[in-house]
Amino acid sequence: MIEIKDLHKSYQMGSNSLHVLKGIDFNVEAGELVAIMGSSGSGKSTLLNILGMLDVADSGEYLLDGLPIKNLNETKAANYRNKFLGFIFQSFNLINYKTALENVALPLYYQGVGRKERQEKALKYLEQVGLKEWSHHLPSELSGGQKQRVAVARAMAAEPKVLLADELTGALDSTTSYEIMDLIQKINDLGNTILVVTHEDDIAHMCKRIVHLKDGVIVEDKKIEQVRASQYVQ
Amino acid sequence: MKFLFDKNTWQEIFGSIGKNKTRTIITVIGVLWGIFIYIALAGASKGLDNGFERNFETVAKNSLFAWSQRTSIPYAGYKIGRSISLKVGDAEKLRNSVPDIEYIAPVNTIGVFGGEGAQVVNNLKSNNYPIYGYFPEIAKMATQKIFDNGRFINEEDMNLQRKVVVIGERTQQELFEEDEDPIGQYIRIDGVYFKVIGVAKFSQTTPFGTDGDIIMPYATFRKLYNTGDRAQYFTIAAYDDADVVQVEKDVKRVLKRIHQIHPDDERAIGSFNLGEAFGRIMGFAKGITFLSLIVGLATILAGVIGIGNILLISVKERTKELGIRRALGATPGEVRSLIILESVFLTLLAGIIGIILGAGVLNLINNLTKDNSDFPYTNPTVPIPLVIGALLVMVVLGTLIGLIPAQRAVSIKPIDALREE
C-alpha cells in the first residue's frame, strides 16, 4: 500500500540545516496497523506529514498504492489527500461551528458528493463510532473521547486507502485512549490500513507492527502480538 | 460558475459568516452606511434638481427680457443721455434678424418699474396694483396657471380690444369676498370697468412678477394708457437648442441699430437673461449631483475596505480551520472562492439593505417637503442605472478586496496551520 525508498528531509533553521529524515526505507501492506514510535525530534511527525502529503521530501521515492507521489501542486495534493488519506489529529481539529454530522460530511463535500448522500454516509460512520445520537451536537458539547470518535468517523467518511493518526490519544486519559484504540482496531479488522504515530508504549502495542525511529533512521521494525484494547474497556 | 449556484457552497458561506454574528453585523453596517449615504445623497441632489426644474417649469428656459434706458455714448448726431423707447414694430424686426427667436412679445406696464400701480376698485374695496399689457403669445413663454372657470387673454380679446383682465391671487383676496366668484364680475381700473375673466395662480414667471398683478390685452392697455406704439420691454424666448447668450447679444445689437445707438453703448439697452441664470442654477445642481456621487462612492469604498479588513482578521482567526479544510481535501481554489464569495456576499447584502433604507429615507423626506412648494425639492429619485452601477461597483470592489484575505488564506500551508502549539 505504501512504499518508501531512501526518503530524506531536512529543515533550514537559520544558517543551520537540520537533517530530520536520513534515508527511510519502509513498506506498509494493505490491512496493516502500524505504530510509528520515537522520542520527540526523531522525525516521526515529519514522516507522517510527508506520508500525508502535507509536506514534501527532499529526495526519495514515495508510492501510494502504486501511485508515485511527487511534484504535486497544491491542488493535486489536495485532491489526493481527499481521495486517498484520512487524518486523525491529537487535538481532534474539528470545525467548531459545525455539528458532528457536518464535520464528518466535510471530506465528502470536497469530493463533490451530493448533500443527501453526504448526510447519509456521515450518519452511517457516526453510527459506526457510536455517536449517532450526537450527530447534531457541536464539538463544544462533546467530551474529548467523543470528539476523537467524530474525528475518526470523519477520517473514515471519505473511504481513504490509508488512515493517518498523529498522537491520536495524546489529549485523552488512558480509559478513553483505550476506547479509541478499540475503535481503531475494529476499523483495522475491517481491512483498513492504519498508521499511528505515538510515543506511548501501550498504545503502540495495540498495533500489529512497531516501527522505531531514532534520529531520522529506522532502528527497529518488528511485528508484534497485538494487545486487544477491548479487554480494558467495560 | 456551477460553484456559485451550488447550495453547498452557500451553506459553507453562511456557516462561516454566521459563526461570528456581531462582527458580521458591524462589518455589514460599514458598507450599508456607505451605500445609504450614496443613495440618500444621489436622491437628494436629484430632488434638488427636480425642485429647480419645477420652479422654472412655468417659464421658457431660454427666455430673456430686453428694455430701453438712456444712452451713454453720443452717436449719429444725438447727444448723450437720450431716452430710448422701444416700438412694437421692433418685435417683427427682431424676429426677422435673429432667427433663433421662437417667440417675442412686447409688454407695457404701469406700477412695475417704479411708480404707483393703477387704482383698482370693486364696490367698497380698492387698492393699487401693477398692470401688464400682454400679447396672448406670452402664454407660450410663461405658462399662466388659471384657476378653474377662468381663462387667459386670447387673440380675440386682443383684436377686439376687449376690456377684460386676469387678476392675481392676492388681488382676488383683497377685492372680493371669500365666497365670491370673481369670474364675470366687473372691477374699475383707473376709472374704466373691466370684466374679470380669470384668476392666475402665482408663479414666478418674470423676475419682477407678484401675486397682485393684473393682466389685460396689450391693445386694451394701449388704448387705456395711450402708449401708442411704444413697448416697455420685450419678452423673448429662443429655441431650446439656441445659445441664449448669443441671442441676447444679437437682440441688443439689432435694437441698437434700429434706434441708432452706438454699438459699444452698454447702457442704452438693458436685459435680463433668464436662460443664463437658469443654466447657472442647473449647473450648480449638476455640480451637487456630481459631488454627491463622488462622496457616495468614496463612502462605499471605505465600507468595502472595512470588509476586506475584517475578512483579513477573520482569515487569521480561521487559520486552523482553513488548515483542516485543506487537509481534508479543499483545494486552494476552493478556499479562495470561499473567502471571496464571503466578501461579495457581505458587500451585496449590505448594499441591498442600504439601498432599501436610503429609498425609505428619501421617501420620508419627500413626504415631509411635498406640501412646501417654496423649497426647491421635488420627487427625489435615484436613477436605476446609478443603483445598478453602485451594486456593480460593490461586487467588483468586494471581489478585489476579498482577493487580499483569500490570497492570505491560500498562502497558509496546511501543515503550518495544523501544527500543535
Q: How do A209-214 and A33-37 pair as beta strands?
A: parallel
State the Cα–Cα distance between residues A196 and B249, nearest whole angstrom: 98
CB atoms within 10 A of CB B397: 22
Mean pLDDT, range B94-106, rounded to an integer? 91
Shortest Cα–Cα distance, B378 to chain A (Å): 50
Angle, CA of B342, B345 and B347, to the nearest 5°: 105
State the Cα–Cα distance between residues B157 and B145, nearest whole angstrom: 18
State the Cα–Cα distance between residues B79 and B77, nearest whole angstrom: 7
**Tens digit of each residue's pLDDT (9 = 90 or more) over B296-313:** 888 888 888 888 888 888
pLDDT of residue A146: 92
pLDDT bracket for residue B314 (50, 70, 90): confident
pLDDT bracket for residue A223 (50, 70, 90): very high
| One-character DSSP codes across A22-80 | EEEEEEE-TT-EEEEE--TTSSHHHHHHHHTTSS--SEEEEEETTEE--S--HHHHHHH
**Tens digit of each residue's pLDDT (9 = 90 or more) over A22-52:** 989 989 999 999 999 988 888 888 888 899 8
Chain A residues lying within 8 Å of B418, measured CB to CB: 54, 89, 93
Report the percent of chain B where pLDDT is more than 90.
Answer: 20
Q: Please indicate, yes or no, whether the overall pTM of this predicted structure exceeds 0.80.
A: no
**Tens digit of each residue's pLDDT (9 = 90 or more) over B174-224:** 999 888 889 999 999 998 999 999 998 887 777 778 888 899 999 999 999
Report the complex ipTM.
0.89
Residue A6 DSSP SS3: strand
pLDDT bracket for residue B22 (50, 70, 90): confident
Mean pLDDT, range B307-324, rounded to an integer? 84
Report which DSSP code applies to A197: E
Q: Which of B254, B230, B307 is nearest to B33 (CA)?
A: B307
| One-character DSSP codes across B338-356 | HHHHHHHHHHHHHHHHHHH
Cβ distance of B329 and A91 shorter than 8 Å: no
Q: Are B218 and B159 in contact (CB under 8 A)?
A: no
pLDDT bracket for residue B3 (50, 70, 90): low
Chain A residues lying within 8 Å of B329, measured CB to CB: 78-79, 81-83, 107, 110-111, 158
Residue B372 above 70 pLDDT? no
Q: Are B217 and B100 in contact (CB under 8 A)?
A: no
State the Cα–Cα distance between residues A126 and A66, nearest whole angstrom: 31
CATH number for position A90 = 3.40.50.300
Contacting B with CB below 8 Å, chain A residues are 49, 52, 54-55, 74-75, 78-79, 81-83, 87, 89-91, 93-98, 102, 106-107, 109-111, 115, 154, 158
pLDDT bracket for residue B166 (50, 70, 90): very high
Domain span at A139:
2-232
CA-based end-to-end distance of chain A? 34
Q: Give me the half-sphere count of Cα atoms (radius 13 Å) on the Cβ side of residue B357.
A: 15
**Tens digit of each residue's pLDDT (9 = 90 or more) over B24-48:** 888 888 888 888 888 888 888 888 8
Residue B287 above 70 pLDDT? yes
Residue B1 above 70 pLDDT? no
Mean pLDDT, range A165-170, rounded to an integer? 88
State the Cα–Cα distance between residues B301 and B184, nearest whole angstrom: 65
Residue B417 above 90 pLDDT? no
Q: Which of A91, A96, A115 sits opposite B8 (nearest CB)?
A: A115
Residue of B nearest to A116 (CA): B8
Q: Give me the half-sphere count of Cα atoms (radius 13 Å) on the Cβ side of residue A198.
A: 25
Shortest Cα–Cα distance, A88 to chain B (Å): 10
Domain count for chain A, please give it: 1
- Spell B320-348 as b/e; 16+ CB within 10 A means b: bbbbbbbbbbbbbebbbbbbbbbbbbbbe
Report the percent of chain A where pLDDT is more than 70.
Answer: 100
**Tens digit of each residue's pLDDT (9 = 90 or more) over A7-23:** 999 888 888 888 888 98
Chain B residues lying within 8 Å of A107, measured CB to CB: 328-329
Shortest Cα–Cα distance, B12 to chain A (Å): 10
Q: Which of B15, B329, B418 sits opposite A93 (nearest CB)?
A: B418
State the Cα–Cα distance between residues B294 and B88, nearest whole angstrom: 51
Chain B residues lying within 8 Å of A40, measured CB to CB: none
pLDDT bracket for residue B2 (50, 70, 90): low
Q: Are B242 and B279 in contact (CB under 8 A)?
A: no
pLDDT bracket for residue B375 (50, 70, 90): low
**Tens digit of each residue's pLDDT (9 = 90 or more) over A92-138:** 889 888 899 999 999 998 888 888 899 999 999 999 888 999 999 99
Average pLDDT, chain B: 85
Residue B270 DSSP SS3: strand
